[in-house]
A and B are shown apart, each in its own frame.
Chain A
Amino acid sequence: MRMTARRPIRWIIPLFLAPALLFYTLFFVYPALDAFRISLYDWTGFGNNAKFIGLKNFGEALRDQYVRLSLSNNLLIMVLGGALLFTLALYFAVVLSTPTVRFRGLLRVVLFFPYTINVVGIAFLWLFILNPQFGLLNGTLDAFGLDRFTQVWLGDRNLAMASIIWVIIWMVIGFYTILLQAGIDNIPQDLRDAARADGAEGVTLFLYITLPLLRDVLAVAVTYWIIDALQVFGIVFALTHGGPAKETNTVATYMYSVALPQESPILRFGYGTSIAVLLFILVVIASAVYFRLIRREAVEF
Chain B
Amino acid sequence: MTTVKPIAQGSTQLIPTENVARRTLKRLGLVVFYYVPGLIWMAIAVVAVTWLIMSSFKTGQEIFAGVWDLPHSLYLGGYIRALAQANMARYLLNTMTLGVVVVGVLDIIGAMASYVLTRYRFGLARPILLYFIAGMAIPGLLVAVPLYLFMAKLHLLDSLVGLGIVYIAVSLPFSIFVLTGFFRTIPSEIEDAAVVDGASDFGVFWHVAFPLAMPGLVTISIFNFLGVWNEYLLALMLISSPSQTTLPLGLYSLRVQQEMTSDWTSLFSGVVVAMIPSLIIFLILQRRLTGGLTTGALKG
Contact = CB atoms under 8 A, between A and B. Distances in A.
Interface of A: 1-5, 10-13, 16-17, 19-21, 23-24, 26-32, 34-35, 38, 45, 88, 91-92, 95, 98, 100-101, 103, 106-121, 124-125, 128-129, 133-136, 139-140, 142-143, 170, 174-175, 178-179, 182-183, 217, 220, 224, 227, 230-231, 233-234, 237-238, 251-252, 255-256, 259-260, 269, 272-273, 276-277, 279-280, 283-284, 287
Contacts of A283: 137, 139
A200 B122 CA distance: 52
A280 B119 contact: no
Contacts of B2: 100
Contacts of A220: 297-298
A130 B45 CA distance: 15
A134 B67 contact: yes
B274 A121 contact: yes
Contacts, number: 278
A88 B44 CA distance: 15
Contacts of B149: 34, 38, 45, 269
B97 to A, nearest CB: 16
Interface residues of B, number: 95
B48 interface: yes
Interface stretch (B12-20, B73-81, B277-285): B277-285
B230 A259 contact: no
A44 B248 CA distance: 27
B70 interface: no
A129 B44 CA distance: 11
A172 to B, nearest CB: 11
Given A118-B247, A124-B251, 12 more contacts: A2-B192, A20-B109, A26-B169, A107-B42, A116-B282, A121-B271, A125-B52, A136-B51, A139-B66, A259-B144, A269-B145, A276-B144
Nearest to A253: B233
Contact of B188 (A2, A26, A88, A136): A2
20 contacts: A2-B119, A2-B121, A16-B112, A21-B128, A24-B135, A27-B147, A28-B170, A28-B173, A38-B145, A45-B145, A113-B45, A118-B251, A119-B232, A120-B248, A120-B251, A182-B294, A220-B297, A237-B236, A255-B144, A272-B145
Nearest to A185: B294
B218 interface: no
Contacts of A143: 67-68
Nearest to B236: A256
B264 interface: yes
A151 to B, nearest CB: 15
A29 B191 contact: no
Contact of A273 (B68, B137, B145): B145
Contacts of B173: 24, 28
B195 A2 contact: yes
A134 B146 contact: no
A183 B146 CA distance: 39
B257 to A, nearest CB: 13
Contact of B135 (A29, A114, A139, A179): A29
Interface in B122-140: 122, 128, 132, 135, 137-140
A231 B121 contact: no
Contacts of A88: 37
A23 B230 contact: no
A26 B86 CA distance: 35
Q: Shortest 10 CB-CB distances between A and B: which pairs?
A: A139-B67, A27-B169, A31-B146, A182-B294, A20-B113, A16-B112, A234-B232, A34-B146, A31-B143, A28-B169
B101 interface: no
A284 B137 CA distance: 8
Nearest to A133: B64
A182 B219 CA distance: 15
B161 interface: no
B132 to A, nearest CB: 6
Among B2, B270, B278, the one with the most A-chain Cβ atoms within 10 Å of its Cβ is B278
A188 to B, nearest CB: 16
A134 B281 contact: no
A27 B22 CA distance: 65
A28 B120 contact: no
B67 A109 contact: no
Nearest to A91: B37
A237 B290 contact: no
Contacts of B116: 12-13, 16-17
A109 B42 CA distance: 9
A231 B136 CA distance: 13
B172 interface: yes
Contact of B205 (A12, A98, A269): A12
